[in-house]
């Protein structure tokens, strides 16, 4: 019993110690902070369950940054009490995670884990474009990043454009610069300066003539060609305008068919990159809950699906995919428009989604508390019925010229009654 009390006491003390490294911010923050201070801030609401779940992670981050002597200050603010500060940072949802550096605000939209948040904070806090001045530094960076953008060469208009893009996309990826002699000998560059992306065990050089706008190209290329995809990554991929081909597999203990689907997709992604990479990402997702919500129905795994998050649309194979050619035919049909699409964000589809979301939300309520579920459904319907009744009763009474009441004016206005003859 004494050991248990000691454990609980130590846990409380550790939590309190970690909490001491997270500052509570109020509406005076913008006037009192230093000009060169870098802040990582969580905006929360006291009633928000997800905010409370994030608290232990947030305190760990504050403690670790303090122990490392990092220039990043960690804070939190009750957005419901400090409405002025929340408005300054344009907080719309909870929890909201933002960074402030040189009066520029950066919004974090990734997974709410310690590693994900700290990687974002370290990226913002450091130099906009990080210099790789030696072979050792280059190799170290390569070992840490699946996708790496590198500017190669001296100062030029291209570097100015690259730096400008880095200011806008630093929330998503790192940016590096180096000289030609630091790159591996196997890297062949026809001209300098150049922007190169290293990923998938190879490299690709940016060409304005072929690839168009530099920002759009970097935004498209910032993901590996094939990877495991979660809901956050899928949403970010959708923002680039590309389609995403997913192999949906089990969350644990993949069956033989799931392994075949995953292997088949990885092979197509690698061998046909030049054909499909400009239009599509490839990856696999463990579990089907997120996609089931998108299609508003049950998805049986394993299966393939092409998702278009720009309009909430999706494509399913017309039959079983047994061979690589079956999968290629499916992809070609999606790209040339011959494959039937589903979903979308039209008016009818939005109504269907509203009904589906309502049903999914109320189903567990009816399961655990039927009376509460009935009340939640009946109450708004009753209010709506009363409103319609009152509107009906409040309609002005219309009478004919001879004093006879009419229920409603005839279409086209009132007709003049004929004058009676003597």
All domains of the chain in start order, with CATH: 23-125 (3.40.30.10), 130-220 (3.40.30.10), 224-345 (3.40.30.10)
Q: Which has more pLDDT, 367 or 12?
A: 367
pLDDT at 407: 52
Strand partners, 197: 149, 204
- Looking at the predicted structure, is the pLDDT value of residue 16 above 60? no
- Looking at the predicted structure, is the pLDDT value of residue 332 above 90? yes
Helix (H, G, I), strand (E, B) or coil at 215: helix
Distances (CA, A) of 231 to 238, 281, 287: 11, 14, 11
Percent of the chain residues topping a pLDDT of 90: 57
CA torsion, ordered 148, 149, 153, 158, to nearest 10 deg: 180
Distance CA 266, CA 119 (A): 27
pLDDT at 329: 94
Which 8-state DSSP code applies to residue 75? Answer: E
Tell me which residues are annotated as active site.
48, 51
pLDDT at 98: 94
- Looking at the predicted structure, is the pLDDT value of residue 303 above 90? yes
- Contact between residue 1 and residue 57 where contact means Cβ atoms under 8 Å apart: no
Distance CA 387, CA 138 (A): 69
Token digits for 237? 């991929």
Q: Which of 98-112, 312-326, 363-377 has the lowest mean pLDDT?
A: 363-377
For the stretch 244-290, pLDDT in tens is 999 999 988 889 999 999 999 999 999 998 899 888 999 999 988 88
Distance CA 42, CA 60 (A): 13
Q: E-assigned strands of 207-329?
A: 226-228, 243-249, 280-286, 303-308, 313-315
pLDDT at 420: 46
Average pLDDT of the residues of the chain: 85
Distances (CA, A) of 250 to 76, 257, 289, 314: 37, 10, 11, 20
User: Cα dihedral sign for 113, 118, 121, 123?
Assistant: negative
For the stretch 342-387, pLDDT in tens is 988 888 878 877 777 676 666 665 666 666 656 666 777 788 777 7
> Mean pLDDT over residues 43-62, rounded?
93
For the stretch 181-234, pLDDT in tens is 999 999 999 999 999 999 988 999 999 999 999 999 999 899 998 999 988 889
Band of pLDDT at residue 113, cut at 50, 70 and 90: very high
Distance CA 417, CA 288 (A): 69
């Amino acid at each position: 019993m004494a050991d248990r009390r000691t454990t609980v006491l130590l846990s409380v003390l550790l939590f309190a110690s970690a909490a001491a490294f997270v500052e509570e911010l109020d509406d005076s923050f913008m006037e009192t902070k230093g000009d060169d201070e870098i802040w990582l801030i969580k905006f929360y609401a006291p009633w928000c369950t997800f905010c409370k779940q994030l608290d232990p992670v947030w305190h760990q981050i504050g403690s670790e940054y303090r122990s490392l002597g990092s220039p990043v200050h960690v804070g939190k603010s009750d957005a419901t009490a400090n409405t002025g500060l929340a408005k300054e940072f344009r907080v719309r949802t909870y929890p909201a995670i933002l960074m402030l550096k040189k009066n520029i605000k950066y919004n974090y939209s990734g997974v709410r884990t310690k590693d994900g948040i700290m990687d974002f904070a370290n990226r913002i806090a450091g130099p906009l474009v990080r210099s790789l001045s030696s072979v050792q530094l280059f190799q170290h960076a390569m070992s840490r990043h699946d996708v790496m953008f590198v500017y190669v060469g001296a100062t030029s208009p291209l570097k100015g454009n690259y730096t400008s893009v880095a200011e806008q996309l630093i929330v998503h990826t790192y940016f590096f610069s180096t000289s030609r002699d630091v790159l591996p000998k196997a890297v062949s560059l026809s001209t300098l300066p150049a922007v190169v992306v290293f990923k998938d065990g190879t490299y690709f050089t940016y060409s304005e003539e072929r690839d168009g706008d530099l920002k759009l190209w970097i935004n498209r290329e910032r993901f590996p060609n094939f990877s495991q995809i979660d809901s956050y990554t899928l949403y970010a991929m959708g923002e680039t305008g590309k389609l995403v081909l997913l192999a949906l597999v089990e969350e644990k203990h993949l069956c033989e068919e799931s392994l075949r689907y995953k292997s088949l997709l990885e092979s197509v992604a690698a061998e046909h990159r030049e054909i499909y990479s400009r239009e599509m990402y490839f990856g696999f997702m463990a579990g089907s809950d997120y996609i089931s919500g998108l299609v508003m129905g049950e998805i049986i795994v394993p299966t393939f699906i092409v998702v278009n998050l720009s309009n909430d649309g999706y494509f399913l194979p017309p039959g079983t995919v047994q061979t690589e050619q079956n999968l290629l035919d499916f992809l070609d049909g999606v790209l040339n428009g011959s494959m039937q699409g589903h979903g979308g964000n039209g008016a009818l589809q939005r109504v269907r989604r509203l009904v589906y979301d309502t049903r999914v939300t109320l189903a567990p309520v009816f399961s655990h508390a039927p009376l509460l579920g009935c009340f939640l459904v009946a109450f708004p319907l009753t209010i709506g019925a009363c409103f319609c009744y009152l509107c009906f009763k409040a309609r002005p009474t219309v009478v004919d010229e001879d004093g006879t009441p009419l229920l409603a004016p005839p279409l086209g206005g009132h007709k003049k009654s004929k004058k009676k003859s003597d």
